[in-house]
Structure 1
Amino acid sequence: MNRKTTGRRTTARPFVPRQRTARTTPSWAAPDPVDRLAADLGDFAAAAVHPDEIAAALESDGLSDDQIRERYGVRDSFALAEELYARVPRRHPEPDTPPHDPWRVSLRACLLRGLVFALPGLAYVLGAPLLTGPPGALGLPPGTVPLLAGALFGWTWNQGLSHRAYAWLGLGDRHGARRCLLVGAPVGALLGALTALAVAGAADRAAVAFATGQSCYLGASTTLLVLGRERTLLAALAPLTAGALLALAHPLPDPVALTLLLGSLAAVMLLGLLSVAPSVRKPSGGAGAPGPMSSLPYALFGLGSGALVLYAALGDVLAGEEHSALAAPAAVALTLSMGPAEWLLYRFRSGSLATLRSTGTPRAFRRATLRTGAECLAAYLLILLALGPAATALWPHAPGLTAVRLADLLLLGAVLWTGLLLQSFGAALGTAAVCCAAALAQTLALLTHLTDPHGAALTVYATAAAVQALLVRTLLGRATAHR
């Protein structure tokens, strides 16, 4: 039937979108299955800040797309999640007890880890007599090449080994982690020693022996750190630490220095072996064992980040600017900063967990999370800003810390911290690619003898830091990455 029009103009009522509520059905009709599912999910669906969180829960419950189409009449889990998100009002129920925060850790424990990362560097003070002789390849101090090659291989291998062992621990299989370390640590030590020997060239045998001990230490210390034995490792390093501090004040006789070096090394290796010995007669369950290739991105991150730290320590020497002293204070500052860096990573995870409970929209969550990340990064750079000049002032014959060198240190710190942040969320492949590309660019810059090596390093670090900041914004701004 046609409707007659009148002289009055009618204005359409504006459409105001609003959130749908659960449908009510007559008593004689079958209840809507989507409403029943919304009631079953309860507070979880109400607290979700994005439909993808609900979709992840549906998939974890084993619902296939075929089952979803048959039961709920929508095409897949994402469509069902969007329907549930629209029907359930947003709310954040207060728990009966304070919510559990698994990311709260002791600052003292993180500082202890940073200390045990840095103390092994004192071995080079006691081992200096073993590295005497004419300059080696690329104008580096004698014996440096095998030491650096062994260290770089060790960082790469042990980073991947640590990830694989932590994966076993995540499965609740401590014996599996111990067996992984029992096999992986000696293999890595052997391969590291062979790597040092392969590049030794005309280097003295004492330098190769020192590099071999370094490889053994890296494997044993990795074992203790993964198993949470930081205090044990610190006690084993006590003779080395005391001897190095004495040597800084007055040179020690070579036999005494060598005895202290070997004593600490033997103690660390013995303690590492004892910590994994219980796994020999108790095989792991094997269920859900992580594949070795899953640890490759973490190993590559160790390679790229390790190379960048070495370039920070050797940049002046390789560029032909300094031949009397390495720019070791940069490496010392970065190593000491790893303890606070680890604590700030936990602070970020704790803050993002609190943000999940306090925000109700994806945009608000992203904004709050990125603000927390920026605050943690700024705190880390302030710590590095204090450590850099302090290490330079205390290191004998160290080159002056110019504004360019300080900028290099801070930008490299930003690359390392954002890389560790991405790695902690499982996004290791992206940060490994960035760090390895940056290390390759640094290598090419040195091989082509650029007129401004510090400017080239500044450009490389700034580019890598910008790319990783973009990765953090893209990957960690989603609520589903934090569940």
Structure 2
Amino acid sequence: MSGSLWLKPGATRDGLPQIPRQRATDAPRGSHAPPSPGHLAADPLDELADRLDALAATAVHPDEIAAILESDGMTDDHIRLVYGRADSFALAEDLYARTERRHPAPEPPAAGPWHTGLAGCLLRGLVFALPGLAYVLGAPLLSGPGRYGLPPGTVPLFAGAVTGWVWNQALAHRAYTWLGLGDRAAAVRALVTGAPAGALAGAAVAVAAAGPGERPAALFGAGQALYLAAATVLLVLGRERALLVALSPLAGAVPAFRHDLPEPLRVALLLLSLAATTGFAALVLWSTRGPGGLARGRGGPPLARSLPYGLFGLGSGLLVLYAGADAVIALTLSMGPAEWLLHRFRAAGLARLRLLTTADEFRRAVTGTLARCLGGYLAVLLVLTTAAALLWPGAAAVTAPRIASLLLVGAVLWLGLLLQAFGGVAKAAVVCLLAAAAQGLAQAFAPAAGPLAAGAAAAALCVLTCVLLVRPTAHRV
């Protein structure tokens, strides 16, 4: 009977440890003699507690033990029959109550997978922001009649960018999934096939969306699509420094803030940076292809699982665009510190699992860490927003309502990225898309209501984050 209630040897579900199997048929031959008179049979719960002692001792809530029981295939019928408890949760509470809490000391920070250097994250923030200088150099190309109340050339550029955000976010998720499985060749193969397809799709959409007189803007949008695909390859494979070198010609845009540069020079700087980015991406893919050619993957995760990441990229990108040029620079530069603080939050959660003994202590500690990390990010964003408004030509005036609106958008982005890191990307995508739609309607009909959309989205993400991430099971790796 018990053979149908347990997993096969060595199997696990959802990465949870398997409870050691114990069947009646596992006993040695000759050990089936009846117990002597007066001998009490062993309590099955005592035996289960002994087998789960190491796992139960490190749990900070009975739900962790219940998850282990259920993942090992132990049904409620089996629990009622063998252990006399109503279900897995009642059995987990008994095991939790009779096991002394024993938490090992936290590992040194350098050994943890969620510890990362601040310098590396700042470098990523820089390479996120530098492409903004391309729009300064390419401003003369964005010509033609404006449509839908937007500046000239905006429609094809915007259409190509949106396509690239959705495609490359989903592609990056799939490649990162392969890297997480330890199959770098399959990740490279996904990038080899996905990056050119994304560049072609973005360029095609930009050209198709161009109207009369917007052909230069369509060409700029096609180059933008090619850049997004190549940059995705370099960032996923950890080649941030190569991308920084490729973007260095865009520094020639700095004099364009005050002086009118010749159009041939502008185009040359753009093409040089684009060629360098594309060339580095191709070189990296070629050098990591493996000795036997690009390996075929084992199927990998379903393609539909990457879709929420693309939708989150769409929603967050739209929110950033609505913020204005100077705010875009501040928000993209802030992504470096944002990434570092996300790592700090995840590492702190893992450390609390090893140190704290009750769920209430864990909940309070995680809530405090969340507040500090979010507050630190908003403080950095405030400094960057003020600096960008002072330095960017034609930037909007720094006012309290504008600062509050940008900080709300920043809170939405950081909390959305946090939920994405913990597997809640679908919830973050829905909130960001709704907020972006509300921002778009506000821009068209009631500009003063724009901050309300960002504020509602920030509040919703705060609630989701507090509900999901204060649970100890959310931080298990």
What amino acid sits opposite 2:399 in the alignment?
A: T
Checking the alignment, whether the CA contact within 8 Å between 1:176 and 1:279 is kept in structure 2 is no
Between the aligned partners of 2:281 and 2:399, the Cα distance in structure 1 is 41
The residue number in structure 2 matching 1:189 is 199
Give deviations 1:222-265, integer Å, cap 9, x for gaps: 11101111011111111222x22243354332222212211111
| Counterpart check, 1:137 vs 2:134 | no
Q: 1:205 to 1:93 in 2, by over 3 A?
A: closer
The residue number in structure 2 matching 1:332 is 329
The residue number in structure 2 matching 1:305 is 316
| Counterpart check, 1:354 vs 2:351 | yes
Between the aligned partners of 1:98 and 1:444, the Cα distance in structure 2 is 46
1:86 offset after TM fit, Å? Answer: 1.9
The residue number in structure 2 matching 1:379 is 376
| Counterpart check, 1:428 vs 2:437 | no
Of 261, 270, 290, 2:279 maps to 270
The residue number in structure 2 matching 1:319 is none
Structure 2 residue runs without a partner (length 5+): 1-36
The residue number in structure 2 matching 1:257 is 266
The residue number in structure 2 matching 1:290 is 301
TM alignment of 1:27-46, pairs within 5 A:
28-46=39-57
Give deviations 1:328-366, integer Å, cap 9, x for gaps: 111111111000000000111111112112222222211
Give deviations 1:192-225, integer Å, cap 9, x for gaps: 1122122211242111100000000001101110
Between the aligned partners of 1:57 and 1:307, the Cα distance in structure 2 is 41
Checking the alignment, whether the CA contact within 8 Å between 1:333 and 1:391 is kept in structure 2 is yes
The residue number in structure 1 matching 2:5 is none
Checking the alignment, whether the CA contact within 8 Å between 1:145 and 1:199 is kept in structure 2 is yes
Give deviations 1:267-325, integer Å, cap 9, x for gaps: 11121122223438545464461001001111111111111111112xxxxxxxxxxxx
TM alignment of 1:464-475, pairs within 5 A:
464-475=457-468
1:60 offset after TM fit, Å? Answer: 4.5
Give deviations 1:356-390, integer Å, cap 9, x for gaps: 12222222211111111011000011011111110
What amino acid sits opposite 2:430 in the alignment?
A: A
Between the aligned partners of 1:203 and 1:365, the Cα distance in structure 2 is 60
Checking the alignment, whether the CA contact within 8 Å between 2:435 and 2:457 is kept in structure 1 is yes
Of 216, 221, 245, 2:231 maps to 221
1:175 offset after TM fit, Å? Answer: 1.0
SS of the aligned residue for 2:363 comes to: helix
Structure 1 residue runs without a partner (length 5+): 1-25, 314-327
| Counterpart check, 1:367 vs 2:364 | yes
| Counterpart check, 1:57 vs 2:68 | yes
Range that drifts further, 200-209 or 289-298: 200-209
Between the aligned partners of 1:99 and 1:127, the Cα distance in structure 2 is 43
Checking the alignment, whether the CA contact within 8 Å between 1:178 and 1:279 is kept in structure 2 is yes
What amino acid sits opposite 1:258 in the alignment?
A: V
What amino acid sits opposite 1:339 in the alignment?
A: G
Between the aligned partners of 2:205 and 2:389, the Cα distance in structure 1 is 31
Between the aligned partners of 2:111 and 2:396, the Cα distance in structure 1 is 48
The residue number in structure 2 matching 1:17 is none
TM alignment of 1:156-235, pairs within 5 A:
156-235=166-245
Checking the alignment, whether the CA contact within 8 Å between 1:192 and 1:215 is kept in structure 2 is yes
1:93 offset after TM fit, Å? Answer: 4.0
Between the aligned partners of 2:108 and 2:393, the Cα distance in structure 1 is 55
Between the aligned partners of 2:47 and 2:202, the Cα distance in structure 1 is 60
Q: 1:75 to 1:275 in 2, by over 3 A?
A: farther
Between the aligned partners of 2:422 and 2:45, the Cα distance in structure 1 is 33
Checking the alignment, whether the CA contact within 8 Å between 2:443 and 2:450 is kept in structure 1 is no
Between the aligned partners of 2:361 and 2:369, the Cα distance in structure 1 is 12
1:76 offset after TM fit, Å? Answer: 4.6
Between the aligned partners of 2:70 and 2:299, the Cα distance in structure 1 is 19
Checking the alignment, whether the CA contact within 8 Å between 1:43 and 1:92 is kept in structure 2 is no
1:419 offset after TM fit, Å? Answer: 0.5
1:458 offset after TM fit, Å? Answer: 1.1
The alignment of Structure 1 onto Structure 2 pairs a total of residues equal to 438
The residue number in structure 2 matching 1:403 is 400
What amino acid sits opposite 1:34 in the alignment?
A: L
SS of the aligned residue for 1:138 comes to: coil
TM-score, normalising length: structure 2: 0.86
| Counterpart check, 1:478 vs 2:477 | no
1:103 offset after TM fit, Å? Answer: 1.1
SS of the aligned residue for 2:340 comes to: helix
SS of the aligned residue for 1:91 comes to: coil
Between the aligned partners of 2:247 and 2:41, the Cα distance in structure 1 is 72
Of 443, 452, 460, 1:459 maps to 452
Q: 1:306 to 1:62 in 2, by over 3 A?
A: same
Between the aligned partners of 2:236 and 2:311, the Cα distance in structure 1 is 19
Between the aligned partners of 1:110 and 1:237, the Cα distance in structure 2 is 17
What amino acid sits opposite 2:328 in the alignment?
A: A
SS of the aligned residue for 2:131 comes to: helix
The residue number in structure 1 matching 2:135 is 124
1:474 offset after TM fit, Å? Answer: 0.8
Of 392, 395, 414, 2:411 maps to 414
Checking the alignment, whether the CA contact within 8 Å between 2:143 and 2:216 is kept in structure 1 is no
Between the aligned partners of 1:412 and 1:28, the Cα distance in structure 2 is 69
The residue number in structure 1 matching 2:58 is 47
TM-score, normalising length: structure 1: 0.85
What amino acid sits opposite 1:392 in the alignment?
A: A
| Counterpart check, 1:238 vs 2:248 | yes
The residue number in structure 2 matching 1:19 is none
Q: 1:47 to 1:53 in 2, by over 3 A?
A: same
Q: 1:439 to 1:96 in 2, by over 3 A?
A: closer
